[in-house]
Amino acid sequence: MDPNAPETTRYKPSVNIDQAPRIIVPLLFFGTAYGFIIVTAILLIFLAKPLAQGMYGLSSILVMVHCFTLGFLTMTAMGILHQWVPVVFDVPPWGTRRALASYVGYFLGVLVLVWGFAAQGWLVVAIGGSVLALSIVWWSVGVLRQLAHSAQARDVVYHGLRGAVIGLNLVWVVGLFMALSFLGWWPTYTVLRVHIATALVGWMGWLILTVQLKLNPMFSMSRAEGHTSGIPLILSAIGLGWAWLSLVSSAIAFRIGAVFWVLAVLATLRQSGEVVGHGKSKDRVFIGVASAWLLLLGASILALWLNPLAVIVAFWGLLTLILSYQSRIIPFVVAVAVAKRLPGPSFKAFFMAQAMHSKNQPIVTGLLGLAGAALSILGRTQRLPGLDEAAGFVGLFLIGTQLLNLMTAMARGRHAQPSRP
């Protein structure tokens, strides 16, 4: 191949951008997720006093937690996968109507569930949980069918994504165990730990470990061959198995599971370092990503002692990780939509996205994520509500900087479109 040829001619992508869905689908999920994370940050400010006192069982705190986990984390993940699965696995995207119906069902389920928690109406919680479970099952079946029809190799990415989708369904299954625990069948706090672990490890953990096997080589312009080990996925799954075993044994099983999570994070850091180290691009997104994984390592270590702060640190880690990657993903989604309207190969979107995104936003994200986690830890350990309030303001500022940069990227994308006659 001619080394002097234009970059868009020499570049051969490993994904099929032409399979990308209409931009309205992922952006609708992303936009709603940002609404939920803003609400979460505001609630963090107003609930600073009970948080500093460790009153995690309050209904208002349950609202805040589920706004983050269901409203932000899972809503964001669904939006990413609506874009990612067709492109990576070269399968047709969902029809727009079906995707919008999936969004509406899930969104309503989250709203009703959160409303039930806020009103302490357990019948409403049950209705919201049922709608949520049905919408998750319907969405999951659609994703699994896409994977089944893909001609791509059944590799680590394929099996990792299948495992993550199954993990999402296990989350609501454990939710049923939570309801039974209120009847005295199991110790409530034991089931709560497993519920949280399934959500953070079995669903979000597996999804992130899988998706980054594609994202890290793409952002670092590195070859993925030899660096797509499934060891982090296997270690995290073993840890989750031990956590589930604690339902019928003792908390020692959960602690053993946490050991495997520590090993999984260390293996991830090593694997990611190898990929980025062999890459041609030193994208600053990996500063934010590294900060996030350090927080997740800290959360895994805290889980060894069954410390509730592990959940708070993990939340900050996931927020930092998602916002860091999103600073590159959303400009890419916009670039794909624009590239389809412009002459030339559609994979020029890779290079258009690089011109759209903010180079330094991931650094800001990493620093603010670490600061927010530190304030939350000190607020709880020192029982100082003011520090928890400060953490909420840090979160709002972080979200504001992210939205500003994303809107700038989208504005640049609009300018790249051909003028109308």
Q: Which residue has the tokens 């069902």?
A: 105
The structure tokens listed for 137 are 């099952």
Q: Are 120 and 57 in contact (CB under 8 A)?
A: no
Residue 287, φ and ψ in degrees, nearest 5: -70, -45
Please report the pLDDT score of residue 9 as a whole number.
44
Q: Is there a contact between 275 and 297 (Cβ–Cβ < 8 Å)? A: no
- The per-residue pLDDT for 370 is 99
pTM of the model: 0.92
| Cβ-based burial of 195 (10 A; exposed 0-12, middle 13-18, buried ≥19) | buried
Per-residue confidence of the chain (421 residues) as pLDDT tens digits?
A: 444 444 444 445 567 888 888 889 999 999 999 999 999 999 999 999 999 999 998 999 999 999 999 999 999 999 999 999 999 999 999 999 999 999 999 999 999 999 999 999 988 998 999 999 999 999 999 999 999 999 988 999 999 999 999 999 999 999 887 777 666 666 667 888 999 999 999 999 999 999 999 999 988 988 765 566 899 999 999 999 999 999 889 999 999 999 999 999 999 999 999 999 888 888 999 999 999 999 999 999 999 999 999 999 999 999 999 999 999 988 888 887 777 777 666 666 767 777 777 889 999 999 999 999 999 999 999 999 999 999 999 999 999 999 998 888 777 766 655 434 3
* Token output for 389: 């309030």
First to last CA, the chain: 38
Sign of the CA dihedral 248, 252, 256, 258?
positive
Number of residues in the chain: 421
- The domains of the chain are located at 19-152, 156-263, 283-403
- Torsion-angle region of 356 (φ positive above 0: left; ψ -120 to 50: alpha; else: beta): alpha
> Please, what sign has the CA dihedral across residues 370, 374, 380, 385?
negative
* pLDDT, position 114: 97
